[in-house]
Amino acid sequence: MAIATIHEDILKTHILTKLDGQTLAAAGCTSSGLQTLCSDHKLWSNICHATWPSTVDPLVNTTISTFTSGHRSFFSDAFSSPTRRLTATVSPPPPTTMIISSVDIKFHDQLIFSKVELTNTTPSDWFQTTPFRVDLLEPKELVLSGVKFSGAGAGDDHVTLTNLENNMTLSWIMIDPTRNRAVNLSSGKPVSVQRNWLTDDVELTFAVVLVRDNDDVTCNILVTCGVNDGRGELTVKGVSLTVMDVYGKCLSGRDSMVILRGLVTGLRQNRGSVEEERERYGEYIQRRRERKEKSERRERWLDMACVATGLAIFMAFCSLVIY
């Protein structure tokens, strides 16, 4: 049966509503008639809310409505992955006075954490020079997920870490209301999962590694999880975003906003597999380790040079005193 013979109401009610965002966008490219139907605001609004529950928040919803094509533009920005290579702009863009973080964490496709955070990024002496960090939870705040964690009590830490590594997903969409653009800063699944032996919590890293001026930077999202001993319930203890350089140093507000603005306005690409993301992050960690070792060797050499110079001066002074 030709698609043109199907009544428009049936298409809109019983077919297009069953499609995901990618399929809906592809269907809209097949004909002018379908393009009109597939551009329906309600369709894209429902898809965004189903994909990212935090977008239901009134602040996010209102901001998305100012995008060129509303939720359809937002989906295009947030579903794809940002470019891996940032280029400097010819002229400095207008400053971003605030950013909105729309964050959702799922475990086994079940929502366990969802929050919208407004961050003031108005340029000031304090913001420009202070390390940039967005924390979604207070230091002692604890979020009960309602999910029974099957790895708890198994007596095998490897099982626990593997369970989280394979089944935890995160979306951190940063929205720039100044430019009516958005970008997803998360790798989707964690690129690193490890136990913090001091606190006994599990730390999951979701990271996007970028290249700027032939050097690495990374948007680093750290999620700290625990398991409630009494009920075996998965808990979320911390969710934070930082931008780090190749040495693992947290960049200042000024430098971080340059990176984030570049990501928002930059090109998009198809999201890579989790294996690619983990390999890229592993390479970044290796380069960071090499840079650190090189820096330590240079510092040791300088220390030895200073000691040798001081010893030479002391010997010269002693010889003058003696003779």
Tens of pLDDT, residues 115-135: 999 999 998 899 999 999 999
User: What pLDDT does residue 8 have?
Assistant: 65
Q: With helix as H, strand as E and coil as C, how does the chain read?
A: CCHHHCCHHHHHHHHHHHCCHHHHHHHCCCCHHHHHHCCCHHHHHHHHHHHCHHHHCHHHHHHHCCCCCCHHHHHHHHHCEECCEECCCCCCCCCCCEEEEEEEEEECCEEEEEEEEEEECCCCHHHHHCECEEECCCCCCCEEEEEECCCCCCCCHHHHHHHHHHHEEEEEEEEECCCCEEEECCCCCCCEEEEECCCCEEEEEEEEEEEECCEEEEEEEEEEEEEECCCCEEEEEEEEEEEEECCCCECEHHHHHHHHHHHHHCCEECCCCHHHHHHHHHHHHHHHHHHHHHHHHHHHHHHHHHHHHHHHHHHHHHHHHHC
pLDDT one-digit tens code per residue, 33-75: 777 777 788 899 999 999 999 999 999 999 999 999 999 999 9
102, pLDDT greater than 60: yes
Confidence of residue 78 (pLDDT cuts 50, 70, 90): very high
